[in-house]
Amino acid sequence: MVFDFDGLILDTEAPVFHSWREAFEAEGATLTLEEWSDTIGRANSADPADLLVERTGRPLDEARRAARKARRDELLAAEAVLPGVHDWLEDARRLGLPIGVASSSEVDWVAGHLERLGLLDRFVCLTCFDGTVRGKPAPDLYLAACESLGVDPADALAVEDSGNGVTAAKAAGLKCVAVPHDLTRDHDLSGADLLVTSLAELSLEEAVARLWPATPS
């Protein structure tokens, strides 16, 4: 099983977006959910600071950059592991399924949050974007995660929250469960094999039974 991280295990997406939107508003500019949403799950997205310069003609100084990050971290501190994640991780451990992460974020970001949440030891590998392979929506991160886990992609399950992530997982040949949140509900998730509102909606075993139905004997 291969999890995305941002917006799937922990809702980092909303704190990052809202902190940037507030920074734009403080400079008399706007940042819409629509333009932000398209970047979710994608590596190598444009730096919001560069977009803010385009719209205001003024770069953010160090004090305002620090204030934006402090606001992001304040919002992040209020977030807990998303519903159903703990149960799915426990189910995977009980079933003996190795678990990895395939993320468009940098490994320090992902590992730092997982360690803070007490979840880092649950994952065999963290396959994160570092510029050496193509990021999502390309399949490379998922292919690398499956290689690290020693599993054929056809026998692996991806758990995603964004259209870019679903595209990457399916291009790599994995089955995919999509769990959209407020920032990705308008994404095209039609490529997912199963769409749920929360991982708490069903157990991992129920998802596996739906995606790999038993062949009658």
Q: What is the pLDDT of residues 73-86, one digit of tens each?
A: 999 999 999 999 99
**Which residue segment(s) compose the domain that 176 sits in?**
2-11+80-211
Residues involved in catalysis: 4, 6
Do 22 and 120 lie in one domain? The reply is no
Do 88 and 72 lie in one domain? The reply is no
Q: What is the pLDDT of residues 3-25, one digit of tens each?
A: 999 999 999 999 999 999 999 99
Q: Which of 77, 106, 131 is the last residue of a domain?
A: 77
Do 30 and 132 lie in one domain? The reply is no
**What CATH number is associated with residue 106?**
3.40.50.1000
Neighbours of 163 (CB within 10 A): 25
Q: How many CA atoms lie within 13 A of 77 on its CB side?
A: 6
> Which pTM value belongs to this model?
0.91
Q: What is the pLDDT of residues 177-190, one digit of tens each?
A: 999 999 999 999 99
Total domains in the chain come to: 2
Tell me, letter by letter, the H, E, C secondary structure of the chain: CEECCECCCECCHHHHHHHHHHHHHHCCCCCCHHHHHCCCCCCCCCCHHHHHHHHHCCCCCHHHHHHHHHHHHHHHHCCCECCCHHHHHHHHHHHCCCCEEEECCCHHHHHHHHHHCCCHHHCCEEEECCCCCCCCCCCHHHHHHHHHHCCCHHHCEEEECCHHHHHHHHHHCCEEEECCCCCCCCCCCCCCCEECCCHHHCCHHHHHHHHCCCCCC
For residue 143, pLDDT over 70 is answered with yes
For residue 202, pLDDT over 70 is answered with yes
* Mean pLDDT along residues 125-129: 96
Provide the pLDDT confidence category of residue 161 given band limits of 50, 70 and 90.
Answer: very high
Do 17 and 88 lie in one domain? The reply is no
**Which pLDDT belongs to residue 215?**
53
In a domain, 152, yes or no: yes
For residue 137, pLDDT over 90 is answered with yes
Do 94 and 173 lie in one domain? The reply is yes
In a domain, 84, yes or no: yes
For residue 111, pLDDT over 80 is answered with yes
Do 98 and 127 lie in one domain? The reply is yes
**What CATH number is associated with residue 64?**
1.10.150
* Mean pLDDT along residues 109-131: 96
Provide the pLDDT confidence category of residue 207 given band limits of 50, 70 and 90.
Answer: very high
In a domain, 217, yes or no: no
Do 46 and 93 lie in one domain? The reply is no
Do 36 and 110 lie in one domain? The reply is no
CA distance linking residue 215 with residue 116, whole number of Å: 42
Do 86 and 72 lie in one domain? The reply is no
In a domain, 216, yes or no: no
Do 144 and 162 lie in one domain? The reply is yes
